[in-house]
Structure 1
Amino acid sequence: MNAIGASKSPGRWRGLIAPGIASAVSLAILIGLGVWQLERKGEKEALIGHIIARSHEEPPAQLPASDAWDPKTDEFRRVRVTGTLQNDKETLVHGLAAGDVPGRALQGFYVITPLVRADGSTVLINRGFVPTELKNPADRKAGQIAGETTLTGILRASEVRTMFVPAADPARGEWFNRDIAGIAAAKGLGTVPPYLIEADAAANPGGWPRGGQLRVDLPNNHLQYAFTWFGIAACLVGVFSVFAWRKLNDPPAPSRG
């Protein structure tokens, strides 16, 4: 048998079966991940467009009823509400906000304050952000609104705590996510709607808290992730191709004897 025939003997082909199956399965997974990221990119772009459209709508005459609230259809709607802020029952939620210097975030708190309406019902208002040095309400007197006021803002659902977010400690007033039910219970507010209102920038002109913190800048890196998965898939094809070519064409090792 000549060298070419020997180099492509059935034994060598059989040696490619297991690596070939493993590579094919890995390739299918990588391509699937890339396609999934492209689908997520479309979903994220649709969500961003949805938020922008809702945030510019004319506020409705009434807030959604608690039993009719549906985050899928109601969240991010622009609303207007009138009532009296209970500044003595505000809750500070740890968070970050965009600073005056681009790319540099401010560390501080979001001020969640109950607002009592004329009918006696209460709704939580995220009045905006205060830096850490203004944590004490006495240091931001200009930002306290007394008496009846009208606020406009965006409806937001309760924020689910993820595994990377510390648990709240109501006894110490430590909150790390906008847990509407938890905050209402800790402050003895009774029944409140399952949403809060993120006040816009006009809520405290020239003062703190600084409203209007909702930014439609959701991370949308899915195209980059898709290219990464497809790139790894291409590398896998290249590596296996070289491996298979050498397996079939390299001369056999000389026998010792």
Structure 2
Amino acid sequence: MSDASVPKDRRFPIGLTIATLIALAILCGLGVWQIKRLAWKEDLLARIEVLKTAPAQPLAAVLARADKGEDVAWTRASVDCAPAGAETLPLVYGVRDGDIVWRATAPCRTAAAGYGVILLDLGVVKALTGQPTPAPVTLAAPARAVGVLMAPKSLGGDRQATVQRFAAERPAPYILMVETATPVPPGVTPAPLPAEISNRHLEYALTWFGLAVTLLIIYAAMLWRKMRS
């Protein structure tokens, strides 16, 4: 029997099938992506748990491992900074405990594994909490800092642009989120770790896969009705 002799309402719905397959591929792709995010988040949470009791390592040794290809993000490190004058760098916008906060940064000059400077995230400027357009803050790097190394791309704000200000000094590829500083920067509260890290990726993955199954059921029901009518 040719297609021309088959009533239109009983022909195989090619357009609907293609649209369903495309939507199904998107939903399954989102589900797989969330599974990958789940593995990444579990590794991150495990690193943070180890970090709670890990001693600080010299920055030079840690960056030397990074140069060999090791991922040293979320490693506690210590660094001694050469004396330098105060500098005005862009504040970094953030949200903490529901409030707008502004984080201060300062360059730490140090000869660590061949790098000339590493950017320090000193913490939250308390006086600027809640302000939408704060005035610039000028701060000097402390003589010594202990903190957690983070990759600029994993942090909020355009930190990479700030790092590039010191391109001539070969800046380190990580930012040190300061936990303790000597001397303590005036008016700044260290806040190296996120206030809360949620892990709902399994829930999101099940949602996407559930939508994919629902789509298949709806498609099968529509196809059954169409071919049966």
TM value normalised by structure 1: 0.64
Match of 1:96 among 94, 97, 100: 94
The answer for unaligned runs of 5 or more in structure 2 is none
**Alignment RMSD, CA only?**
3.9
| Corresponding residue to 2:217 among 238, 241, 246 | 238
Question: Given the superposition, is the C-alpha separation of residues 247 and 222 from structure 1 closer, same or farther in structure 2, using an over 3 Å criterion?
Answer: same
**One of 54, 58, 64 as aligned partner of 1:57:** 54
Counterpart of 1:105? 99
The alignment covers a number of residue pairs equal to: 216
Aligned equivalents of 1:89, 1:216: Cα separation in 2? 28
Match of 1:125 among 103, 110, 120: 120
After TM superposition, the structure 1 = structure 2 runs for residues 19-30 of structure 1, keeping only pairs within 5 Å, are: 19-30=16-27
Higher radius of gyration, 1 or 2: 1
What residue number does 2:79 align with? Answer: 81
Does the 8 Å contact 2:119/2:163 carry over to 1?
Answer: no
Write the mapping of 1:1-257 to structure 2, written as runs, cut at 5 A.
11=7, 14-54=11-51, 56-64=53-61, 69-70=66-67, 72-84=70-82, 86-98=84-96, 102=97, 104-108=98-102, 110-117=103-110, 121-130=116-125, 131-132=127-128, 135=135, 137=137, 149-159=143-153, 176-179=158-161, 181-185=163-167, 190-200=169-179, 207-215=186-194, 217-250=196-229
The whole-number CA distance in structure 2 between the counterparts of 1:69 and 1:224 is 34
State whether residues 33 and 226 of structure 1, in contact with CA within 8 Å, keep that contact through their aligned partners in structure 2. Answer: yes
Change (3 A) 1:18 1:88: closer
CA distance in 2, matches of 1:69, 1:227: 36
**Distance 1:85-1:123 versus aligned 2 partners, 3 A rule:** farther
Letter in 1 for 2:164: G
Residue aligned with 1:69, SS: helix
Question: Is there any run of 5+ residues in structure 1 with no aligned partner, and where?
Answer: 1-8, 139-143, 166-175, 251-257
**Structure 1, 84-93 or 114-123: larger mean CA deviation:** 114-123
User: Deviation per CA, 1:203-254, whole angstroms, max 9, x where unpaired?
Assistant: 676952111332274454422332332232233223223322321333xxxx
TM-score relative to the length of structure 2: 0.70
Amino acid in the other structure paired with 2:227: L
Report the 3-state secondary structure (helix = DSSP H, G, I; strand = E; otherwise coil) of the residue aligned with 1:198.
strand
Q: Secondary structure at the match of 2:159?
A: coil
Provide the rounded CA distance (Å) in 2 between the counterparts of 1:43 and 1:117: 32
Aligned amino acid, residue 153 of structure 2: E
> The residue matched to 1:193 in structure 2 has which SS?
strand
Q: Supply the distance in 2 between the matched residues of 1:202 and 1:85 (Cα, whole angstroms).
A: 14
Cα distance per residue 1:38-61 (max 9 Å; x no partner): 232122211221244246421224
Decide which structure has greater strand share. Answer: 2
Instruction: Choose 24-33 or 233-242, whichever is displaced more.
Output: 24-33
